[in-house]
Structure 1
Amino acid sequence: MYRFLLWLKQPSNTLWVKPTLGALLALIIAFSSYWIDRWLPAQTLPKISIDIVDDLLNIIASSMLAVSTFSLSIMIAAFSSVASNATPRATELIIADGTTRTAISSFLSAFIYAVIAKILLGLGIFGTNGLFILFGCIVILLLYLVVVLIRWVQTLSGLGRLKNTLDRIQQKATESLRYYRNNPNLGTAAKITDLKQVRSIYSQKIGYLININLSGLQHWAEDNDCSLHIMVRVGNWLMPNKAMVLVQRDHFQDIDFDEINRFFIVDSQRKFEQDPSFGLSVLSEVAQRALSPAINDSGTALTVLATLAQLLIERPIEKEDDRYFDRLSIVPLDEGIFIEESIAPIARDGATNINIGIAILKTLATIYHQAPTVELSLAAQKEAENTLQRSIEILSFENDKRLISDVYQQLFGYKLSQ
């Protein structure tokens, strides 16, 4: 069940949900007009011409099919634009856009409603009451479609554009980073007290760890009267020779250790949920693509660097780490990976650009001075040293070398020995 719910959370797996629910609702509303018509006494409601109702249904049926087709083509074009101008990893965020899904579902549902209503109307089963109810439903539907169309037009103005994509990536990265900052141990509280009484459990799959079912592990540990020390974090690359969990127990008879693997979800692609560094990595990919010779858009790279600095210096809410799982512990996350997966690739790709090099040093200096943890601060300092050394080796113009060295000294307060 846990894997199924996790599967449903993926936007690409739930494109059918809203259209299906909308179609069912359209069927219910269409048939309810007939049922209410049979329940009410004859001539209770005003008389409406059947031609008016039929004309309105014709307009809805013909226009909504065209609008649905057009909207789907726009969405596919947006996917292609994001994949080519930003990064393919960001297409999932466009698929997850609620306004887009609501618009397409509404247009399809309106088309289905109009077709079903026309069929019922053609059967001649509606009396005076039924025609009026049908007319009322059409008016409400038209008002709703006007609102949806206005929102849809507003969404179309930004869908697939680079700024819109960057904003979505930043939002996702912020959510995962905030969750990590406010709950770095993921609610685990136990400690391994005796390393002699442990057994290592290895991954049975190869790929990225995208989710850990901590509740399932807690129940398993309670049922088997043991403690578990998780040796991996979401986003890590798993392979059969890498210890994934340490099981602590007085004895290890009558335990099915293979069950532990089912609580670790492995996939070939990383996901944003539970992975605080993936959003940073996706932002970095956008900057790397912008710095490629084919695009040569240093402005986008500068925007990404400013966004990364803003994300990495955000401090956690002052509260104690929530602890739900008293039989679990987890290895601390090496926060140096935040720099390694975000700024370091940009520094390598932009090493020949003096402006990018200076911007990277300013970004790293901001993180160095304002990072919420010492570990992240030291990682920023180390990457700044690497950036300076790389620039000095790659840049050919002596004034550029001197300039970036002076910037480093101003930002970090000392001169790096060559």
Structure 2
Amino acid sequence: MQLWLIPTLYAIASVAAGFLVPRLESTFLAASLNLSTSSAQAYLSAVASGMMALTGIVFSIAFVLVQFNAVVYSPRLVVWFARDRLLFHSLGMFVATFMYSLSTLAWVDRQGAQGVPFLSAAIVAAMLVASVLMLAQLVQRLNNLQIMRVLQALGDTGRQVIVSTYQAVPWRTSGNAARAQDFQGTPELTVKHAGNPQSVTSIDIARLVGHARRMDGLIMMECGVGDTLLEDSVIMRAHGTTTLVPEKELSACVHLDEQRTFEQDPKYAMRLLVDVAIKALSPAINDPTTAVQAIDQIEDMLRRLAKCDLEACLAFDEAGDLRVIYRMPTWEDYLALAFDEIRQFGSTSIQVMRRLRAALVELAACVDGERARLVRDYLIHLDSGIERSGFDPQDRAAARIEDRQGLGLSHHQGGGAASRAPSEEMGRAVS
């Protein structure tokens, strides 16, 4: 549901209740609030005028605060904060309270009849209490814009996406992968994007498997989640088909939006964490500690990704036949996304270099085989960057010490460990 519909539905419901409830009350409920007409009018007028003033003040401050923090963290975080449903529910409740108060006010002393509608006045009081509770929740939610809570929220979201993307995938069963060689050659069907540039937010692999089975062919995806599709960008190609499926049905399996989302895209959570880190490392902010805290979340995500089968990009049907080949990031892609920009923009910070080195050394201990080799190569690359940096010899030696706090608790044995050559230090740490 579109978020703007939330306050709209609140407003429509309050207008409908404002017309219906007082009429039903006057017809079937002969109770009247033991309150003078002038007092009731003052009470309802105060609620109505106060809610509109509160709405303007609260949401002006909220949007300014969100914009300010999003500029400090990352411009891509603006949408994440602004799409919070609590924000729209709060706006809807404030507007509903205002409009229903006006409707009830119109029934006080209506046509000269003395009395105050009891039920309607009670509903106004209940809506006022609900508005106060929502205001408290909104203030608490804005308090979550603190940097540590933002980083933790991004990390939590990334961890959830990793689980849903790599572990809850029923189509990844074993099958005849060699069958892909039977579908070499010119594709029978090519699906292209038409329209304005849009980002791939998710791909319905299970549905594509069903279509490929109907066609008795193989679908090869030419785009991945997070890619931006331009006019005539190839989305997928179908090979070896005997029965063609309409392009609309195939393209409907690829969900598009104006911007990336977290769904099926662990890279996006990591991308935002990296954005926060490099923004903190900019000369305008110069906050390497925030970058170190972002690396904490990034390293945790990489450790979880290390336990996943990142190379499994094949989808099989129930008979074990290969039906869809899709694109997913490799371990090398994740390493580059996680560390390249932080290494480049943090090359003048000893604190960041020490934290990066600690992350790579401990990550190398969590993986083996080709993945471990890639981590060791990256560690050598990091050490060579330290050697080429503008640090003096003492700072270069300090930058080669692993420290999970950046500058706090070094992990080396003996006073001479810091002065070892980069390759020797790497070998000692990884072995």
TM-score, length basis structure 1: 0.81
Change (3 A) 1:394 1:135: same
Secondary structure in 1 matching 2:236: strand
Distance (whole Å) between structure 2 residues aligned to residue 82 and residue 349 of structure 1: 21
2:123 paired residue among 137, 151, 154: 137
- State which drifts further: 265-274 or 111-120: 265-274
Matching of residue 342 in structure 1 with residue 333 in structure 2? no
- State which drifts further: 336-345 or 222-231: 222-231
Q: Answer whether contact 2:357 2:400 (CA < 8 A) is retained.
A: no
Aligned ranges 1:185-196 → 2 under 5 Å: 191=177, 192-193=179-180, 194-196=182-184
Counterpart residue number, 2:413: none
Aligned ranges 1:356-375 → 2 under 5 Å: 356-371=352-367
Counterpart residue number, 1:391: 386
Counterpart residue number, 2:42: 55
**Structure 1 residues 246-301: Cα deviation after superposition (integer angstroms, max 9, x where no partner):** 4233547x655575344334556322222111110111011101111111111111
Counterpart residue number, 1:328: 324
Change (3 A) 1:364 1:185: farther
Shift of 1:75: 2.2
Change (3 A) 1:125 1:385: farther
Distance (whole Å) between structure 2 residues aligned to residue 362 and residue 239 of structure 1: 40
Counterpart residue number, 1:101: 88
Distance (whole Å) between structure 2 residues aligned to residue 33 and residue 258 of structure 1: 48
Q: Answer whether contact 2:221 2:237 (CA < 8 A) is retained.
A: yes
Matching of residue 248 in structure 1 with residue 236 in structure 2? no
Aligned ranges 1:273-284 → 2 under 5 Å: 273-284=263-274
Q: Answer whether contact 1:90 1:169 (CA < 8 A) is retained.
A: no
Counterpart residue number, 2:218: 227
Secondary structure in 2 matching 1:295: coil
Change (3 A) 1:377 1:64: farther
Amino acid paired to 1:201: T
Matching of residue 31 in structure 1 with residue 8 in structure 2? no
Amino acid paired to 1:333: P
Q: Percent identity?
A: 18
Shift of 1:36: 2.8
Aligned ranges 1:158-307 → 2 under 5 Å: 158=143, 160-183=145-168, 191=177, 192-193=179-180, 194-196=182-184, 199=187, 201=190, 203-204=192-193, 208-214=199-205, 216-238=207-229, 244-249=235-240, 251=242, 256-257=246-247, 260-266=250-256, 269-307=259-297
Secondary structure in 1 matching 2:226: coil
Matching of residue 66 in structure 1 with residue 53 in structure 2? yes
TM-score, length basis structure 2: 0.79
Change (3 A) 1:180 1:262: closer
Secondary structure in 1 matching 2:200: strand
Change (3 A) 1:135 1:165: same
Q: Answer whether contact 1:182 1:316 (CA < 8 A) is retained.
A: no
Distance (whole Å) between structure 2 residues aligned to residue 342 and residue 125 of structure 1: 72
- State which drifts further: 203-212 or 355-364: 203-212
2:377 paired residue among 382, 399, 415: 382
Shift of 1:312: 1.9
Change (3 A) 1:291 1:24: same
Distance (whole Å) between structure 1 residues aligned to residue 140 and residue 174 of structure 2: 47
Q: Answer whether contact 2:222 2:326 (CA < 8 A) is retained.
A: yes
Aligned ranges 1:303-314 → 2 under 5 Å: 303-314=293-304
Distance (whole Å) between structure 2 residues aligned to residue 234 and residue 88 of structure 1: 20
**Structure 1 gaps, min length 5:** 1-7
Shift of 1:397: 1.0
Q: Answer whether contact 2:183 2:218 (CA < 8 A) is retained.
A: no
Shift of 1:389: 1.2
Distance (whole Å) between structure 2 residues aligned to residue 28 and residue 188 of structure 1: 53
Distance (whole Å) between structure 1 residues aligned to residue 94 and residue 201 of structure 2: 35
How well do the aligned residues superpose, as a CA RMSD in angstroms? 3.6
Q: Answer whether contact 1:202 1:240 (CA < 8 A) is retained.
A: no
Secondary structure in 1 matching 2:304: coil
Distance (whole Å) between structure 1 residues aligned to residue 158 and residue 109 of structure 2: 54
Secondary structure in 2 matching 1:286: helix
Secondary structure in 2 matching 1:336: helix
**Structure 1 residues 33-79: Cα deviation after superposition (integer angstroms, max 9, x where no partner):** 3243244264x566543333322211111110011101221222123
**Structure 2 gaps, min length 5:** 403-421
Matching of residue 413 in structure 1 with residue 427 in structure 2? yes
Aligned ranges 1:8-47 → 2 under 5 Å: 8=1, 13-14=2-3, 16-40=4-28, 42=30, 47=34
Q: Answer whether contact 1:291 1:349 (CA < 8 A) is retained.
A: yes
Q: Answer whether contact 2:201 2:256 (CA < 8 A) is retained.
A: yes
